[in-house]
A and B are shown apart, each in its own frame.
Chain A
């Protein structure tokens, strides 16, 4: 067997190189997020948001932008024979799950590097919440990546892929979004960040991540069978 570390690095490196060269996912995700913030700004006719409304606008936008990347996660493997190449190699197939989920986390972090400062510019009067918000973003990204990788690998062989991913993914990430918005709401409260139940919501996010990462490792091998 090829060491999993080498196979993981090969798959992740290939994905990042291809994305840098073709820019198929990340620009679309970023443009979607920025456009949605513009729509919210004019639709709500507000230059400042706080509390649950700010939290909802941020997470709804990030979630739907993430769906764009999740939809495309396995398209090259499907269209260019990557699944067969990986199934022919002497590697643990869960390495593909780990590499794809890691690539998705990197895309989401890159998206947030662009989208969150723009969100702050459009809607916040202070950037004090952005520091603690990083922990929420990272934990939510891990959960989205684990769930998104699983769903994307199942949907990629379907012609209705673009429809299936949101239909199956969105109900599954409801608990994740409840925890993410719950943790974000006090951070974006009017008058400065608060930390009411912040730790509890972070633990819920961590638990969700753990469950879906373990589930991905457990079932991914079966998903690659014919």
Chain B
């Protein structure tokens, strides 16, 4: 059963998530005549980490966007947290923490205003929202810069803020595309506390840095250009 998401602060721990959390069978996505993904299949249990590797253009970001319900697959069967995609995408939204190439933050609002906006979209308001925003900003050591406009922040600080946005509603599934990009050593350590293996969420991590993420992987998916995906 899918957990009811009335209050994201009480949101699913991994025990409430159906296992396996992700099932892909023959997943295909075409862009015109070109297949970005072809025949991807895997099963990932709740609470596990999948690391996705592959060269530029292999379809890693496409895979992540399909899992996030932002892109429709061209073929194959997909189940994420018990929801069949794309038919039941509406049930899944709100349970996903998505960290993509763009931080999904408005440049002219402050970090705190951005997080307040995202909290409200996810049904979190009032004192509970403020407490959660304080909590994630402190965890990312962004509490002192939280009232600065995003446009005034460095790329690394924007990435920290994007990570705060990603985990704000305590998602059951984290979809992370190059999560360490623009982060210094301290930032990477702080990010690990929010989106690392202890995050109590199923994780899919797209990376070009296998040395950093392979030790955390329960499964590895290698995507190649024009090749069938290989799961290890």
Contacts and interface: CB of A to CB of B under 8 A. Distances in A.
Interface of A: 1-3, 6-7, 9-11, 13-14, 17-18, 21-22, 76, 80-82, 84-91, 225-226
Contacts of B188: none
Interface stretch (B18-26, B103-111, B218-226): B103-111
The size class of the interface chain B forms with chain A is: 20 to 34
Contacts of A3: 123
Contacts of A17: 109, 113
Interface in B64-106: 68-72, 90, 93-94, 96, 98, 100, 102-106
Given A10-B121, A85-B104, 11 more contacts: A2-B94, A2-B123, A9-B120, A10-B117, A21-B109, A80-B102, A80-B107, A84-B100, A88-B94, A89-B121, A90-B5
B122 interface: yes
Interface string B19-63: 000000000000000000000000000000000000000000000
Nearest to B5: A90
Given A87-B70, A88-B69, A80 B121 contact: no
Contacts of B70: 84, 87-88, 226
Contact of A14 (B72, B90, B117): B117
Given A89-B122, A226-B71, A82 B93 contact: no
B147 to A, nearest CB: 13
B208 interface: no
Nearest to A2: B123
B148 interface: no
Interface of B is mostly: loop
Contacts of B117: 10, 13-14
B69 A81 contact: no
What are the 3 tightest A-B residue pairs by CB atom distance, in nearest-first order?
A90-B94, A10-B120, A81-B104
Contacts of A85: 104, 118, 121
B94 A18 contact: no
B125 interface: yes
Contacts of A91: 93, 121
Nearest to A79: B107
A18 B109 contact: yes
Contacts of A10: 117, 120-121
Contacts of B69: 87-88
Nearest to B68: A88
A173 B139 CA distance: 51
Contact of A89 (B72, B94, B105): B94
A54 B227 CA distance: 68
B121 A86 contact: yes
Nearest to A14: B117
Of B93, B113, B125, most buried by chain A (CB within 10 Å of CB) is B93
B105 A2 contact: no
Contacts of A6: 120, 123, 125
Contacts of A80: 102, 104-107
Contacts of B105: 80-81
Nearest to A90: B94
Contacts of B107: 80
22 contacts: A2-B94, A2-B123, A3-B123, A6-B120, A7-B121, A10-B117, A10-B121, A14-B117, A18-B106, A81-B102, A81-B103, A84-B100, A84-B102, A85-B104, A86-B121, A88-B68, A89-B93, A89-B118, A90-B90, A90-B93, A90-B94, A91-B93
A90 B102 contact: no
A100 to B, nearest CB: 14
Contacts of B72: 225-226
